[in-house]
Amino acid sequence: MIKQTFFCLFVFAVVCGYAQTPKPASYTAEATNLIALERMWNEAQVSRDATAVASMIGDRFVNTEYDGEVSDRGKFLADFADPQFKPSLMNIQNVEVEMYASTAVVTGNYHTKGMYGSKPYEHFGRFTDTWVSQGGKWLCVASHSSLVKK
């Protein structure tokens, strides 16, 4: 009985110690880089810089909007360049990064507002972006947003 209790306490201590082990510096640097890319993407949306956004997404990029619309890279960039689309704010918060070998999943909250044609919009939601490292460069290959409040 004492051996079993000691063993359970030992396992518990190891698990707790591992859970508090800091992430490796390379993980932290990559996560910081990905969050910076997410923020640059937002800035490019507000300034309507389609070239900057195009440089951040993969050739087989797929986007799923909050309303269920799915678009490939070409349609996404065309929608982005639509002159009726006039964002004035794109902000992200509570951003988290989960790293895998050459892939990362970035999640967070977003707040966006602006005009589409003559109609104002303001959305609050959640996003999930999947990034893949290709040739030393991170590219977003999939993006999904879910509306929390309109």
Class of domain 25-149: alpha beta
Residue 64 has what pLDDT?
Answer: 97
For 32-81, write each residue's pLDDT tens digit. 999 999 999 999 999 989 899 999 999 999 999 999 999 999 999 998 88
- CA–CA distances in Å: residue 17 to residues 13, 87, 92, 127: 6, 46, 32, 32
Query: What is the domain partition of the chain in residue ranges?
Result: 25-149
What is the rounded distance in angstroms from the CA atom of residue 128 to the CA atom of residue 130? 7
Cβ 79 vs Cβ 85: under 8 Å: yes
For 74-116, write each residue's pLDDT tens digit. 999 998 888 899 999 999 999 999 999 899 999 999 999 999 9
Question: CB-hemisphere CA count at 13 Å for 41?
Answer: 23
Residue 89 has what pLDDT?
Answer: 95
Residue 27 pLDDT more than 80?
A: no
